[in-house]
Amino acid sequence: MESLQDEPSYLDRAWFGCRAVYLRGLMVLVLCSGEEPWNGLLIPTEKELHYDIMKGFNGIVQHPVLKKWLYLPENSEEFESMAMDLVEAIRQGDPRIGIEPKERRKKINQ
């Protein structure tokens, strides 16, 4: 993900045991290294864009649990090349990839 880290707006944060990557204020990737189906790249996107993205990137599927997003499993034969292509598309500002993060709720101390 080095090519994204060079971007001025790059930010990453912990996200449910994974790492969420933000660029230009959008959550664009979630890096997971757990057990399947949480081992690979989650691609936050709108559901109506799934087919178009899957058509353009081999190996990307709808996440089996988090169906609103797409998934590139690390055990995919084309993981490395597809991950690089995906990162390049994000770096170039592909409008199909990324969602606006929801604002965090602040804990209220009682």
Q: pLDDT tens-digit profile of 36-83?
A: 999 999 999 999 999 999 999 989 999 999 999 999 999 998 899 999
Whether the upstream peptide bond of residue 8 has omega within 30° of 0, thus cis, is no
Mean residue pLDDT of the chain comes to 90
Q: For the domain bounded by 2-91, which CATH number is listed?
A: 3.90.1150
Assess whether pLDDT exceeds 80 at residue 23. Answer: yes
Q: What pLDDT score does 79 carry?
A: 94
pLDDT band for position 104 (cuts 50, 70, 90):
low
CB atoms within 10 A of CB 71: 25
Tell how many helices (H) and how many strands (E) occur in the chain: 3, 6
Q: Delimit the domains of the chain by residue range.
A: 2-91
Please state, in angstroms and rounded to a whole number, the distance separating the CA atoms of residues 109 and 76: 45
| Both tokens assigned to 90 | 């994000």
Decide: 46 and 99 in contact? Cβ < 8 Å.
Answer: yes
